[in-house]
A and B are shown apart, each in its own frame.
Chain A
Amino acid sequence: MEFLDLTIRELHNELLKKTVTPLDLVKEAILRAKADNNNAFEYIMEKEALDLAIKLKEPEADNIFWGIPFVIKDNFSTKDVPTTASSNILNGYVPVFDATVVRKLMDAKAIPIAKTTLDELAMGGSGTTGHLGTTFNPYDKQHENIIGGSSCGSAASVAASIVPFALGSDTGDSVRKPASYAGLVGFKPTWGRISRLGLFPFATSLDHVGYFTRSVFDAALLLNLLAGRDLEDSTSSDVPVDDYTKLLNTDIKGVKIAIIKEIVDSIYDKSINAAFQKTIASLKIRGAKVEYVSIDRKLLGALFPTYVVISCAEATSNNANLDGIKFGPYHQGNTYEEVMNKARSKGFSELIKRRFVIGSFCLMRENQEVLFLRAQKVRKMIVEKVNDIFKDYDAIFLPASPTTAPKLGEASDRLSDEYLIADNHMVVGNFGGFPSITLPLGFKKNLPFGGNLTAKPFNEAKLLQIANVIEDITGFYNLSVRNKKI
């Protein structure tokens, strides 16, 4: 096993023993990034990363991130490093400040080595719509299956062991779904738990910072570093930051876990159902109380359309600043409207324009009451139902997706329960701002699939405790294409 195949915690121990240096790690990570054939990268920060690594000489025992390489989804601002959100409208844009999460990691002397691809402006779930084309799944050498999105390049980087962790963002399930398809831990903590300053907004009421790791312990370590109030983000929370590793490796006797029956009933894949039931049985053996609960099927069927209405509507205003004037390619015109119209017509892909038109349609005066406001009411209704569950249970456990990574171009029936409920239930985590984590549950035909745990807001320590036990049950710790366990 080579060093980059280790987790953050394991790498830290090697750095302390001086069996490897940050410079060795960064050189190897850049070599692997350059050899990547999954289209994971927008920009490889070779010079920047080497300059940082060469300065790190004496390991810091109390700083677990010292010298650890990582990658950043390209919708986070990075000072002096090109940032496009995988959209042509931001070609050539070079931010003048670092996102707070990037700054925190760099202050801890972690080393960013690349910006990663995403679905254009993070508005997609397939990993196929960025301006550099499709990002592929490292588990599929034939490039027939997607990795999912929108944080596709970040997921591919960690699954291919190019880095031990990666920053992503999650508005619907954009970290947690690709984590399922790529055999990773994908975590989005509570809304407001991590500052969003410098994350390009897509739908402000749903956007979360998230990240990929290859172990639950690493996910807890990252939250210890990234959580906390940021005076420059008024939506960040001042709830005190916990030590998120404190409950790991403690027993889960008496922990109460809910399974939503209607969601499980919408999943037809036998391998996924079998792995899920096997995990439940093991959780019970370890002392957890696992019970089925119900939510009205009609309400669950409205999850995805509610998400579409709210996210597309919010996106239209959040992206109004992309005008080709202050940044992005400039196009000549006789009026400023013409300048903007040309920039936006040429800069946005057709898919993004369609999303914006859907959002604009929902906000039209005649539609606001029946579409936008009603979607916000459905959101409230769903969140209240889920909060009711959390009165009696510590977490909700479900399969993260109804299938392994779909084939490219594979169409699903968009009015079926499998699509509306099973494939999109993780938006609940965004509706209520609940902390939610995906982790590997099994494999089918060499492709991974995951389970998803969700808890009430700011209950990350408990969520990670249960996730850690599931990781112990499955044995899928530090999974990657180089460390396969199938």
Chain B
Amino acid sequence: MKEINKIVLKDAAKRLLFDMSEEEYDTLLNEFDVVIKQMELIGQIEGVDDYEPMTFPFDCATKYLRDDIPTKPLSKEEALRNAKNKSAGQIKLPKVVG
């Protein structure tokens, strides 16, 4: 398991696209003391590696294609309704290319 320190936590927060305060990182580091001890319990289970990872409770495969029936899509107004920054019928963001 990767060693826990503030640099690792800051890297995780950066990847998640948010900032935290130094105090918040301290709280998180303390929390990890218990979290790591709990996670170590997972590693103590004998024979666990004989099992396949379970990603869903059970298979629920969709084995057919829907009929190609036209439906009414969202209107442009509805699609844009919740965006706060928009212009000329599009969502507006800072320039990406100079």
Surface stretch bound by B, among A27-35, A68-76, A259-267, A359-367: A359-367
Given the known A-B contacts A235-B60, A327-B82, A371-B1, are A378 and B66 also in contact in the complex, defined by CB atoms under 8 Å?
A: no
Question: Within the assembled complex, what's the spacing in Å between the Cα atoms of A341 and B19?
Answer: 7
Interface residues of A (CB under 8 A from B): 92-94, 96, 191-192, 205, 231, 234-237, 298-299, 301-302, 304-306, 308-309, 316, 323-330, 333-341, 344-345, 348, 350, 353-354, 356-358, 360-361, 364, 366-367, 370-371, 373-381, 383-384, 414-415, 420, 430-434, 457
Q: Is B48 an interface residue (CB 8 A)?
A: yes
Partner of A378, one of B9, B15, B24, B42: B42
Nearest CB of chain B from residue A246's CB, rounded to whole Å: 24
Question: Within the assembled complex, what's the spacing in Å between the Cα atoms of A94 and B82?
Answer: 7
Partner of A341, one of B8, B17, B44, B74: B17
10 closest Cβ pairs, A-B complex: A433-B57, A376-B53, A327-B82, A330-B84, A380-B54, A305-B38, A344-B18, A360-B12, A366-B2, A377-B51
Give the chain A neighbours of B16 by CB distance below 8 A.
Answer: 316, 344, 353, 356-357, 360
Given the known A-B contacts A364-B12, A414-B34, are A374 and B18 also in contact in the complex, defined by CB atoms under 8 Å?
A: no
Give the chain A neighbours of B49 by CB distance below 8 A.
Answer: 374, 377
Query: Are B91 and A96 in contact, with the CB atoms below 8 A?
Result: no
Question: Within the assembled complex, what's the spacing in Å between the Cα atoms of A374 and B27?
Answer: 26
Question: Within the assembled complex, what's the spacing in Å between the Cα atoms of A404 and B57?
Answer: 30
Query: Are A309 and B17 in contact, with the CB atoms below 8 A?
Result: no
Give the chain B neighbours of A328 by CB distance below 8 A.
Answer: 82
Main secondary structure on chain B at its contact with chain A?
Answer: loop
Give the chain B neighbours of A367 by CB distance below 8 A.
Answer: 1-2
Interface residues on B, range: 35 or more
Residues of chain B from 43 to 69 with CB closer than 8 A to chain A in the complex: 43-49, 51-58, 60, 62, 66
Q: Is B88 an interface residue (CB 8 A)?
A: no
Given the known A-B contacts A305-B42, A379-B54, are A326 and B83 also in contact in the complex, defined by CB atoms under 8 Å?
A: yes
Give the chain B neighbours of A364 by CB distance below 8 A.
Answer: 2, 8, 12
Instruction: List the B residue with the shortest CB-CB distance to A236.
Output: B60
Partner of B1, one of A339, A370, A430: A370
Question: Within the assembled complex, what's the spacing in Å between the Cα atoms of A364 and B9?
Answer: 11
Give the chain B neighbours of A357 by CB distance below 8 A.
Answer: 9, 12-13, 16, 20, 28
Query: Are A298 and B41 in contact, with the CB atoms below 8 A?
Result: yes
Give the chain A neighbours of B85 by CB distance below 8 A.
Answer: 325, 330
Partner of B57, one of A335, A344, A350, A432: A432
Give the chain B neighbours of A325 by CB distance below 8 A.
Answer: 83, 85, 91, 93
Give the chain A neighbours of B66 by CB distance below 8 A.
Answer: 231
Given the known A-B contacts A205-B56, A308-B35, A325-B91, are A302 and B12 also in contact in the complex, defined by CB atoms under 8 Å?
A: no
Instruction: List the A residue with the shortest CB-CB distance to B40.
Output: A305
Looking at A308, A354, A373, A420, which has the most chain B CB atoms within 10 Å of its CB? A354
Instruction: List the B residue with the shortest CB-CB distance to A344.
Output: B18
Instruction: List the A residue with the shortest CB-CB distance to B24.
Output: A350
